[in-house]
Amino acid sequence: MAVWARQVSRWCCLLNAARAVEFPRRLRSRGCTAQACHEFAPLAVPPAGKEAVLWRLQPCRHVSVGSCSPPDSAKDGSFSSPESNLPSVQQEQAKAETLPDLNAKILDEDWDDIPPSSALEVISEEEAVQIIAEPLVPIQSSTLRDYVDHSETLEKLVHLGVNLSQVEKRQKAGQLLLTLDFEKDVKKILLFLKDVGVEDNQLGPFLTKNPYILAEDLEALETRVAYLKSKKFGKSEIAQMVSRAPYLLLFSVERLDNRLGFFKNELGLSVKKTKDLVIRLPRLLTGKLEPVKENLQVCQIELGFQRNEIQQIVYKTPKILTASKKRLRQTFDYLHNIMGIPHHMLTRFPQVFNSKLLRIRERHMFLAFLGRAQYDPAQPNYISLDQLVSLPDEVFCTEIAKASMQDFENFLKTL
């Protein structure tokens, strides 16, 4: 009987010890603390009837997680009571702890996590039809058009009217636009330009010519506008200058100040006339100064104008400073040496230098054919240079040449 009781008690202790070790593992995987595991240790439900005797023979008590403690009276192996007829509990505990835990690997996993689907997983045709594949971003391309569908910045710039085919021709401009975030980088510059006075329908053409302004520091741009205001340029004048010379605000305050000082000193103009000069041709502040210096030398040395005459010519016709030197020489040669126009008359009507030489030649030859090529204001039938070059062909024929348009066309066929 003692042997049978010992075997039964050993089996019960091992079973409860294994359950006591297994259950806290589950709780730990769910985030339970040691105290919570102790409180939720598994409890055995006592069986009824004949099996109750076997239950009472179990000597195990759940004092701590996964341990069985022997009764105080079981020290020398004597059997003073049914509970005392058990071997050493420490030995049974050691056996229970060395039992293989077959479910440990599964219990340690987080069973709330859903494993990711495999790339080789078979899906139905209905699921396959619903899959929308995003277009791949080109690794390399020679045109910004290939990136419009992948870039919010490019897409919105196109809606503003920016010509990307022109932008990508500018050095590193395409790479710049691809690195910009519309909300973070572009939007604030657009609001700044609108505040300066650039019209909504001009934002696209402006950025097409000068996309680099999108990478400029906003505070630096505001400082340059403040400088122009300090020089007494009005808001509408600044707006006109910025719109007609998109690169103007890329120049630092020092460079702008040096440019204004150059034209004032080199031409001997007053402050007011210098302002008027750059308002009418603001790209004088952004272009190179070497062509300007060369044209001034051509006018003085080769064409023979005096300094005061050059001042008048430049103030009335600023484009003469950026005109082609070859064209300037040819126009002057025809006006002065063939038509006989003196320097002082050319100084009064310098806009003649902006006209095409072919237009001047055709009209002068037609007037000479009619005997009406008279450019001296002191003589009758005087024809001013302004009338010669500025009037439309119909008006020129009827009012200046006193001939019909058909006569003029027939004459041109003989040339």
Q: Where are the domains of the chain?
A: 142-215, 234-286, 288-350, 355-414
Ranking 16-30, 237-251, 263-277, 348-362 by mean pLDDT, the lowest is 16-30
Say which residue the tokens 């305050």 belong to. 253
Confidence band for 134, pLDDT divided at 50, 70 and 90: low
Residues of the chain with pLDDT > 70, as a percent, come to: 65
- On the question of pLDDT at 76 being above 80, the answer is no
Ranking 135-149, 250-264, 279-293, 319-333 by mean pLDDT, the lowest is 135-149
Q: What is the mean pLDDT of the chain?
A: 77
Ranking 115-119, 168-172, 206-210 by mean pLDDT, the lowest is 115-119
The predicted model scores a pTM of 0.61
Residue closest to 298 by CA, chosen among 274, 273, 330, 268? 330
Residue 298, pLDDT score: 96
CA dist 311 and 269 (Å) reads 7
The H or E element that residue 280 is part of is: helix 271-280
Strands (E), 9-117: none
Angle CA 259–242–226, to nearest 5: 70
Where would I find the H helices in 338-380?
A: 343-348, 357-370
Which letter does DSSP use for residue 287 in this model? S
Residue closest to 404 by CA, chosen among 414, 391, 395? 395
CA dist 114 and 130 (Å) reads 22
Structural Rg of the chain based on CA atoms = 49
Confidence band for 144, pLDDT divided at 50, 70 and 90: low
Residue 174, pLDDT score: 81
Angle CA 173–286–249, to nearest 5: 65
Residue 124, pLDDT score: 75
**Chain centre distance of CA 18:** 64
Residue 119, pLDDT score: 57
Ranking 52-56, 122-126, 130-134 by mean pLDDT, the lowest is 52-56
Residue 362, pLDDT score: 96
CA dist 192 and 189 (Å) reads 5
- On the question of pLDDT at 309 being above 90, the answer is yes
- On the question of pLDDT at 86 being above 70, the answer is no
Indicate the length of the chain as a whole number. 415
- On the question of pLDDT at 128 being above 70, the answer is no
Residue 306, pLDDT score: 95
CA dist 269 and 259 (Å) reads 13
Residues of the chain with pLDDT > 90, as a percent, come to: 57
- On the question of pLDDT at 98 being above 70, the answer is no
For residue 21, give Cα distances in angstroms to 32, 71, 250, 261, 361.
14, 21, 75, 91, 111
Q: How many CB atoms lie within 10 A of CB 140?
A: 5
Cβ–Cβ < 8 Å for 314, 320 = yes
Encode pLDDT of 178-224 as tens digits.
888 999 999 999 999 999 999 999 999 999 999 999 999 999 999 99
CA dist 186 and 216 (Å) reads 10
Provide the sign of the torsion angle of the four alpha carbons 70, 75, 81, 84, taken in this order.
Answer: positive
- On the question of pLDDT at 82 being above 50, the answer is no
- On the question of pLDDT at 237 being above 90, the answer is yes
CA dist 106 and 101 (Å) reads 10
| 285 or 132, greater pLDDT | 285
Residue 169, pLDDT score: 87
Ranking 15-24, 277-286, 303-312 by mean pLDDT, the lowest is 15-24
Most confident residue range from 96-100, 115-119, 359-363: 359-363
For residue 400, give Cα distances in angstroms to 116, 128, 250, 384.
89, 80, 47, 10
Helix, strand, coil shares, percent, the chain, to 5:
65, 0, 35
Residue 172, pLDDT score: 86
- On the question of pLDDT at 327 being above 90, the answer is yes
| 68 or 121, greater pLDDT | 121
- On the question of pLDDT at 344 being above 50, the answer is yes
66: left (phi over 0), alpha (psi -120 to 50) or beta: left
